[in-house]
Amino acid sequence: MIKQGEVYLVNFGKKYNNEFGKIRPAVVMQNSFLNHSIKDNIYKSVLVVPLSTSILGGDYRLEIKARDKLKKNSECVANWICTLDIDRFLLEKNILTILNENELKILKNKICSLME
């Protein structure tokens, strides 16, 4: 079962205009209740934040240094939060890394600040 804060490779599909495309890492943002519902086939969607290796900084990005199976320094791009079908996840590639408690808290705050 996937968990909040885990980073997986996800197929974002064909790039459309300025949207994210291709296979890229993304961090799972949705809570455990919804993640459990995927296993039970109630829901199949997952709320994620894509990662980019274009390090631009700013209020809506969080840098994650290369570690574990995440091979390059990347940024979580909070203003591109989106919902994707679980079938877009390359689960067979396993978890790339897991955000620590502080990183997850900062990313949640960046997402919440989008709505202020």
Contact assessment for residue 42 and residue 56, using Cβ atoms and an 8 Å cutoff:
no
Cα 29 to chain centroid distance, Å, stands at 7
Q: CA-to-CA distance for 36 and 57, rounded, in angstroms?
A: 33
- The reported pLDDT for the residue numbered 6 is 97
CA distance 2 to 47: 11
CA atoms 34, 2, 39, 46: torsion sign:
positive
What's this model's pTM, rounded to 2 decimal places? 0.91
Q: Which residue has the tokens 């897991």?
A: 98
Q: Which residues of the chain have pLDDT under 70?
A: 15-19
Model pLDDT for residues 72-85, shown as the tens digit of each residue? 999 999 999 999 99
Q: Give residue 14's pLDDT.
A: 72
Alpha-carbon distance 100 to 84, whole Å? Answer: 23
Domains delineated in the chain: 6-113 (2.30.30.110)
Q: What was the pLDDT predicted at 62?
A: 98
Residue 7 is given by DSSP the state E
pLDDT of residue 15: 67
Q: What is the distance between the alpha carbons of residues 25 and 20, in angstroms, rounded to a whole number? A: 11
Average pLDDT over the chain, rounded to an integer: 91
Segment 14-32, tens digit of pLDDT:
766 666 778 999 999 998 7
